[in-house]
Structure 1
Amino acid sequence: MAVTLAPERSVSPIVVPGQLALRTIRGRNGPFTVGRLSTHLGVFEVKDPELEQYHEGKYDGEFIIRYIFPKSYPVGGGMRFEIRASLDGMTLFGIDKLSGDEARSFAIQDVDPLDEESGAPPAATPAKPAKVSRPAKPAPVRASADPLVDTTPFGADAAPSAAVAAPGSTEEGDAALFGLLWPLGQSVKLDSTIDRRTLRAQIARLGELGYALDFKTQEWSRQAELQPA
């Protein structure tokens, strides 16, 4: 079980210059983002939902640290300990690519913050299944010419009807996903205080709709369509 000490909240947030390195890791829930903030106060791990929006890289800027706290959680049959910083905001000035060494410095077996928040156990390496004999191939069933005769093999699921398989309209789904942000304008600022799973779904959908994040304004803007030459 993960052990978390109560965070030490300062009287007021601290504003510090620094560099935030972000790494995208592929997990069982899909890609997730973890960060490492380097400042004159020290180096801290950052796993705030806000980071889900940003591309992998190194960001220079000023960071508002709300509080700093120790965190431990199980990883790969052992325990990992780290010092985390929770951010209350940030102003970013520029971005650079991670070097190979910087990318490898992040733990690939890192726990997805989504699993950590839900209390789900870390993903374990699946055991190799035992070899079993392959069942005999059933004889083909010949369809009847009579439309009133059901030739579906016993135990087989029938194909879902078109009415059941057809999903709701995309507009209705987007309205439910974005809530008060719908209908979307030319620029959108996401609320990172909502649950992380919904935030990830909003980020993915904005990309499908042609929006791109401006990390300096921290807003998603609709990309202008290319004009014919």
Structure 2
Amino acid sequence: MIRVDGQLVIKSISGRYGSFNVARLLTSIGEFAVKDSMLEQYTEGKYEGSFVIAHIGPSSYSTSSGRTVIEVRAKLDSMTLNEMDTLSVADSERLEPKEPDPLDEERGSPPASSVTSSSKSLADAPASASPTSHPAADEMPFGMSASELASTPQPGQSERSADDADADLFGTIWPLAEIVKLDTTVDRQRLREQSRRLDQLGYTLDYKAQLWRRHN
């Protein structure tokens, strides 16, 4: 592992699972793509700090247009952030505007265009889903996953059922305290849902302490 000072440029992109973050780490030893799930908690911006890099190596991904992008990726072990600023146009241009969701890479999903074609074919087939199955991703409100939809009270639901959904989402850290530290080693989708739910519940991320604090 190596420790370097640098600037982490995080950009939020809207995808089929909702918004997701991609980043570039700018250091004296080079510029690297960063796709670590820990970034899912953060808002778009430029963060100055110190970074512990566990691994540096080549990686690639394919865009929905069929283009293959090869990049040098850094895997972060930890980071200490000191300052944060908004993105400039130049900062934003450092990041691919149509970069795929890292969740697709982890799940081995095809590009969005292929998924759309497959979904259209399935739509012509007789419905066979059971009444208890979750709705398909393209049938849910934009930017919401099945877990998020379950944690949002619907007409006729009791407050207790919403609490049950939150208890399932947050696991051992439920019920939530005034200050919450998320486990960034959980799967990426769960970390996204936890972060979005904390925002709905009135928490704000303290990026320096890497803790969520409830608004007073």
Q: TM-score range by the shorter chain?
A: 0.7 to 0.9
Counterparts of 1:104 and 1:17, CA distance in 2: 22
Counterparts of 2:207 and 2:45, CA distance in 1: 12
2:208 is equivalent to residue 219 of structure 1:
no
What residue in structure 2 maps to residue 17 of structure 1? 5
Task: Give the share of equivalent positions with the same residue, in percent.
Answer: 49
Q: Indicate which of 53, 61, 75 corresponds to 1:65.
A: 53
More helix, by proportion: 2
What residue in structure 1 maps to residue 101 of structure 2? 112
Q: Structure 2 unaligned runs (5+)?
A: 118-154
Counterparts of 1:220 and 1:55, CA distance in 2: 13
- TM-score normalized with structure 1 length: 0.73
- Please give the residue correspondences for 1:66-81 in structure 2 after superposition, counting only pairs within 5 Å: 66-75=54-63, 76-81=65-70
Shift of 1:101: 2.2
Q: Structure 1 unaligned runs (5+)?
A: 1-12, 128-164, 225-229
- TM-score normalized with structure 2 length: 0.78
Counterparts of 1:107 and 1:124, CA distance in 2: 17
What residue in structure 1 maps to residue 74 of structure 2? 85
2:116 is equivalent to residue 124 of structure 1:
no
Shift of 1:104: 2.5
Q: Indicate which of 24, 31, 46 corresponds to 1:43.
A: 31
Letter paired with 2:214:
R
SS at match of 2:194: helix
What residue in structure 2 maps to residue 183 of structure 1? 175
**Larger C-alpha radius of gyration, 1 or 2?**
1
Letter paired with 2:49:
G
SS at match of 2:26: strand
Structure 1 residue ranges (4+ consecutive) displaced by more than 6 angstroms after TM superposition:
none
Letter paired with 1:74:
S
Larger relative contact order (C-alpha < 8 A, sep ≥ 6)? 2
Counterparts of 2:190 and 2:84, CA distance in 1: 26
What residue in structure 2 maps to residue 158 of structure 1? none
Counterparts of 2:167 and 2:66, CA distance in 1: 42
Aligned residues: 175
What residue in structure 2 maps to residue 100 of structure 1? 89
- What is the Cα-based RMSD across aligned positions, in Å? 1.5
Counterparts of 2:184 and 2:110, CA distance in 1: 24
Letter paired with 2:68:
M
Counterparts of 2:108 and 2:156, CA distance in 1: 34
